[in-house]
Structure 1
Amino acid sequence: MDDLSPGDSYAVGVDVGGTKTKACLVRMADGAVLIENTRATPCADGGGAVLDLVVAMAAETQREAGELVRGAPCPVGVCLPELVTNQGEPGSAWNFEWRGLDYRTPLSAFGPVYIESDVRAAAFAEGWIGAGRDAGIFVYVTLSTGMSHTLVIDGKPYGGARGFAIHFAGAELVAWTGPNKDIEVRQHIEVFASGKGMGERYGALIGKPGATARDLFEAAKSATGANRLLENSLLSIASYLGQLINILDPAIMVIGGGVGGNPDINRRLGELTRPFIFADLARDLPIVPAALGDNACAIGVAALSWRAGTAVSQ
């Protein structure tokens, strides 16, 4: 993709996550992050508390950006760990509830309100200046607290008819088992293999509620039970990644997020995914780590907000 702006233009991206929220000042000429602020996301306190945090962090970042932007417009974009419609409206409440909440009034203090899903924001950034920059068609997958994906075509994340083409669905009928092959086997991939799911399963294994996926990754280096749990989780994820490749036929697959961005996990996922790829000619496609790390979502939604504001002003 071409650079969005050749001049001194800036935007603020606020990445609202299930555990932390990050606000970044991003330079549009090259996607550089010039200011970065991070706070814990108060999901347990409800959507209103999350909105208050977003407004406060956007205002804080704009204040810090004062000398850099020198009065130039500095729009704010917000990405959510939720379904977001093609009209920019929240479409789910897995982490907190913004549906029916008047979030537009406080956010409009920063200019036109721009809302996007976190996975499409990150995918846009990876297609602009990251691992997907030279790929005409790629799939971006985020493996973090939750799991999401999006197809990117010529730099544009595909939203689907409603904006919901990002998730790994629910409790699919995976197989039939038992002596008479009449017992359903269903699996909700996020419950089983997301970062949150792996942490909860490991916590149950060792009797330690509150264990995290990172705890599991560390324990798997030396403990047989932890390693088996991790391998089962990764194999389950790999089967889904393989089906994404079979269905969408991308040039490359880019994997990011707190789990997917772990180099060892990323390498192992690549190894486990290839046997699930049906076409011989696709089996060696690049499966690569995301390039922008924790900043991908904020960079992407800042750029998308700036682009939307520029289109409106023209």
Structure 2
Amino acid sequence: MAAPLGGIDIGGTKILVCRGDAEGHVQWTDSFATDPEASPGELLAEASQRLLDGGTIAALGVTCPGPFFRRTQTFEKPPNMPRWHGFELGSWLSSHVPGIPFSAKNDANALAIAEHRWGAGRSVSTLVFFTMSTGMGAGLVLDGRPYEGARGFAGEIGHLRLSDEGPIGFGKRGSVEGFLSGPGLAQLAAEEVRIARQRGESTELFEVASLDAKALCAAAQRGDRVARRATDRAGARLGQLMAILVDVLEPELFVLGTIGRAYPELFIEPAMQVVHREALALSTTDLRIEPSALDDHAAQSALVLAALASEARDR
């Protein structure tokens, strides 16, 4: 029997390790908290030990937050993981897991590839994947091929400013990450709660001790009008972003990850309304917005990179 593929997903709150096959079937996973006091090398040593304790692997895929410099395989000031800035991931993997072919990419790019190969994007040639998690990034597949730009920074949309006002993300007020990441949605929720108190409105959000994106979206899903105002604002900003990308890239499909995957009904309709109002009509005729179809997005995004590394070795 052929050795399985292995994957490591580096996240701001946890690190996941997995085994699976080249068809995207996840066979085993494990995870542990990302200790903010631990060095990148210490965390990767723990991850690789857990992964390899189960036996040999045929190839390794590693996903990580961006920005990630493709040429040097180096982290470049990831906003939510400052200790990783300048860490040479490729060099570390070459030294500590020798003899195992590997591929490392930022998580948004890896997710776009996995979605194109195994998920909602199997029938299209051009798609944009939005992470919609702790941060907000995009992965691009153009004409059937992943597109990362000259240095690997294509898709770093979080810092784009959509408005002079609004929540802060990527260190910038009114940015894409401010409106559409988990922390950004929490800021929108807090703003709508303040407005509701001033107006004398009622909302279940008054009773929420920790007002985060999950609490906001759950309340909006239950029909809370104040919560829905916040998610409608986010959905409209998502549509504004999509309209720009439609006019630049003309994708066939936008795929929503994490928050968008969990609550698609809150974001797709308001986004599509803005897209149809703002984008070139000829480019939106067959445009679709869908939630991710990946069963285990973190594991599958790492496994698809391992599959690419295995295929490159066999060529």
Question: TM (normalized to structure 2)?
Answer: 0.79
Match of 2:6 in 1: 12
Is 1:37 the counterpart of 2:30? The answer is: yes
Match of 2:242 in 1: 241
| Amino acid paired to 1:101 | F
User: Which of 60, 63, 70 is 2:53 aligned to?
Assistant: 63
SS at match of 2:211: coil
Whole-Å Cα distance in 2 between the matches of residues 161 and 38 of structure 1?
Answer: 33
SS at match of 1:39: strand
Match of 1:167 in 2: 156
SS at match of 1:231: helix
Whether the 8 Å CA contact 1:62–1:74 is kept in 2: the answer is no
SS at match of 2:31: strand
Q: CA deviation at 1:277?
A: 4.8
Whole-Å Cα distance in 2 between the matches of residues 174 and 202 of structure 1?
Answer: 17
Whole-Å Cα distance in 2 between the matches of residues 106 and 159 of structure 1?
Answer: 21
| Amino acid paired to 1:136 | S
Whether the 8 Å CA contact 2:7–2:18 is kept in 1: the answer is yes
Cα deviation per residue 1:11-52 (whole Å; 9 max; x = unaligned)? 211112233322221201x1100001233333x336x1x543
SS at match of 2:156: coil
Cα deviation per residue 1:60-101 (whole Å; 9 max; x = unaligned)? 13323x3xxxx5x43322211121122222222212232333
Q: CA deviation at 1:102?
A: 5.6
| Amino acid paired to 2:51 | T
User: Which of 96, 102, 107 is 1:109 aligned to?
Assistant: 96
Is 1:289 the counterpart of 2:275? The answer is: no
Whole-Å Cα distance in 1 between the matches of residues 256 and 280 of structure 2?
Answer: 21
Is 1:153 the counterpart of 2:142? The answer is: yes
| Amino acid paired to 1:160 | G
Whole-Å Cα distance in 2 between the matches of residues 258 and 167 of structure 1?
Answer: 18
Whole-Å Cα distance in 1 between the matches of residues 135 and 49 of structure 2?
Answer: 28
Match of 1:100 in 2: 86
Equivalenced residues, count: 289
Question: For the aligned residues, what is the CA RMSD?
Answer: 2.9
Match of 1:25 in 2: 19
Match of 2:301 in 1: 300
| Amino acid paired to 2:114 | A
User: Which of 176, 191, 210 is 1:189 aligned to?
Assistant: 176
SS at match of 2:151: coil
- % same residue: 27
Deviates most, 226-235 or 7-16: 7-16
Deviates most, 234-243 or 304-313: 304-313
Is 1:219 the counterpart of 2:212? The answer is: no
Whether the 8 Å CA contact 2:19–2:27 is kept in 1: the answer is yes
Whole-Å Cα distance in 1 between the matches of residues 314 and 14 of structure 2?
Answer: 33
Q: Say if 1:136 and 1:259 are closer, same or farther in 2 by CA, change over 3 A.
A: closer
Q: CA deviation at 1:311?
A: 2.6
Is 1:119 the counterpart of 2:111? The answer is: no
Match of 1:76 in 2: 60
Q: CA deviation at 1:109?
A: 2.8
Q: CA deviation at 1:124?
A: 0.8
Cα deviation per residue 1:151-172 (whole Å; 9 max; x = unaligned)? 2034422001111111225263
Whole-Å Cα distance in 2 between the matches of residues 267 and 57 of structure 1?
Answer: 36
User: Which of 70, 76, 94 is 1:86 aligned to?
Assistant: 70
Q: Say if 1:27 and 1:311 are closer, same or farther in 2 by CA, change over 3 A.
A: same
Whether the 8 Å CA contact 1:266–1:289 is kept in 2: the answer is no
Q: Which runs of 5+ in 2 are unaligned?
A: 166-172, 194-205
Q: CA deviation at 1:223?
A: 3.0
Q: Which runs of 5+ in 1 are unaligned?
A: 1-6, 177-185
Question: TM (normalized to structure 1)?
Answer: 0.80
SS at match of 1:45: coil
Counterparts of residues 193-272 of structure 1 (less than 5 Å)? 193-203=180-190, 205=193, 206=206, 210-220=210-220, 221-272=222-273
